[in-house]
Amino acid sequence: MYHWVPFWPNTAAVNGQVVNALYIAELAVCGLILVMVCGLMLTFCLRYRRGSSASRADPTQKSWAFEIGWTVATLAAFLGLFVWGAAIYIWLYQSPRSDLEIYVVGKQWMWKIEHPGGQREIDALHVPVGKTVRLVLASQDVIHSFFVPAFRIKHDVLPGTLETVWFKATKTGEYRIECAQYCGTQHAHMTGEVVVMTPADYARWLAERGVRESLAQQGEALFRERGCSGCHGANSTVHAPPLEGVYGSLVHLQDGSTVRADERYIHDCILEPRTFTVAGYPPVMPDFSGQLSEDDVVKLVAYIQSLADKQPPPSPKEALP
């Protein structure tokens, strides 16, 4: 279907269907107000043009009844729209239980995609239809913004931390990915395609990529290479928090606060460990910001995520007070 003059964008996700309904409702309310204001202006302009015979006697005096009346009416209509919009925002931006989690790293001017199975692609994102897909977004350099118009989802991608966004595609096909935040010379060409496939096609696509190691396995290799295991490993002599079972748990920090260990927490801990010193441990971990690329951090995060269901190994330190 190709319209030379398009009026309405493709809608290919449940997110988009919900936003469409709100958009149409707002167009209706705003259109009504606009027609009312313009209609009144036009009527008055014609009827009360200079020289017309309409009576000017007893012009309506301003009364508080008028003023308060239309203020309250406007407020009521608008507050309804506010509540509707806020509900959608909370729904769009809170991560639901996802069927699939994919990492996206933005850099000038491309999108690098890392699938949990270790498959990698650039400026293309293959996903199965009908599944809730959660994207974990990272930026290597400046602020980008991941946007799929056909899904009506958008989220800024900030350097130095992780953001998440989710969607559930309803139609197979190819849809444009754009970068919505100005990021330099080729901002207009920082685009890509989401390829929505049937689950069977998706499984075939994954298999055809012929990947040896999953993202978590790649992370595990890095974990050893970069020396993380020296402290966090089972046989370490350094007093460092074990990472098994950390993902998804509540972590007590030195400053008395408690945080849920999600991807963002793990990411930020690797880059700036001193900001997140865990209660009961000395702040000895070196700073990895500038040492690791976002691609590597993402692998490490995936590895630590894969340890979520494991038990920490018994360690001689457990006995210490």
Partner 1 sequence: MTAITADVPTSYLTSENTVRSWLLTRDHKRIALLFFASITFFFFIGGLAATLMRLNLATPTGLLQPDIYNRMFTMHGVIMVWFFLIPSIPTTLGNFVLPLAIGAHDLAFPRINLASWYVFNLSGLVLLFALVMGGVDTGWTFYTPYSTLFSNGYVVAATMAVFVNGFSSIMTGLNFVVTVHRLRAPGMTWMRLPLFVWGIYTVSVVMLLATPVLAMTVFLVAMERFMHIGIFDPSLGGDPLLYQHMFWFYSHPAVYIMILPAMGVISELVTCYSRKTIFGYTGMTIALISLAVLTFFVWGHHMFVSGISIYSGVFFSLMTFFVALPSAIKVFNWTASLHKGSIIFDAPMIYALGFVVLFTIGGLTGLMLATVGLDVDLHDTYFVIAHFHYIMVGGTVSAFFGGLHYWWPKITGRLYPEMWARFAAILTFVGFNLTFFPQFILGYLGMLRRYYSYPPQWQSWNVLSSAGASILAVAYIMPLGYLLWSLFYGERAGANPWRATGLEWQTSSPPPVYNFTRTPVVTVAPYAYNAEDGSFTAQTGITNA
Among 182, 198, 234, 313, binds partner 1 (CB under 8 A): 182
H-type alpha helices, 147-214: 199-208
Question: Does an H or E element contain 166, and which?
Answer: strand 163-168
d(CA 295, CA 305): 15
Q: Choose the stretch contacting partner 1; rule: CB under 8 A; options: 119-127, 185-193, 250-258, 278-286.
A: 185-193
Show the binding pattern over residues 193-232: x = contacts partner 1 (CB under 8 A), - = does not: ----------------------------------------
For residue 92, state whether it binds partner 1 (rule: CB under 8 A): yes
For residue 40, state whether it binds partner 1 (rule: CB under 8 A): yes
- According to CB under 8 A, which residues from 229 to 248 bind partner 1? none
Q: Choose the stretch contacting partner 1; rule: CB under 8 A; options: 181-189, 215-223, 244-252, 304-312.
A: 181-189
Among 131, 154, 171, 226, binds partner 1 (CB under 8 A): 154
Of 55 and 235, CB closest to partner 1: 55
Among 155, 168, 267, 299, binds partner 1 (CB under 8 A): 155
Among 28, 122, 124, 184, binds partner 1 (CB under 8 A): 184
**Secondary structure class of 176 (helix, strand, coil):** strand
**Secondary structure class of 141 (helix, strand, coil):** coil
For residue 37, state whether it binds partner 1 (rule: CB under 8 A): yes
> Is 128 within 8 Å of 198 (Cβ atoms)?
yes
Query: Which tokens is 30 given?
Result: 């705003």
Check the CA dihedral 282-288-294-295 and report its sign. Answer: negative
Among 60, 235, 258, 311, binds partner 1 (CB under 8 A): 60
For residue 294, state whether it binds partner 1 (rule: CB under 8 A): no
DSSP state of 159: B
Please state the φ and ψ torsions of residue 113, each to the nearest 5 degrees: -110, 135
Of 38 and 221, CB closest to partner 1: 38
d(CA 149, CA 192): 12
For residue 158, state whether it binds partner 1 (rule: CB under 8 A): yes
Q: Choose the stretch contacting partner 1; rule: CB under 8 A; options: 30-38, 98-106, 123-131, 308-316.
A: 30-38
Among 101, 114, 163, 263, binds partner 1 (CB under 8 A): 163
Residue 29: closest CA among 98, 73, 71, 81: 81
Of 120 and 264, CB closest to partner 1: 264
Nearest distance from residue 273's CB to partner 1, in Å? Answer: 13
d(CA 257, CA 123): 39
Of 40 and 279, CB closest to partner 1: 40
For residue 86, state whether it binds partner 1 (rule: CB under 8 A): yes
> Is 216 within 8 Å of 305 (Cβ atoms)?
yes
User: What is the DSSP pairing of strand 120-122 with strand 258-260?
Assistant: unpaired
Nearest distance from residue 291's CB to partner 1, in Å? Answer: 11
In this structure, the number of other CB atoms found within 10 A of the CB of residue 1 comes to: 4
d(CA 92, CA 35): 32
Residue type, 45: C
Among 170, 187, 211, 259, binds partner 1 (CB under 8 A): 187
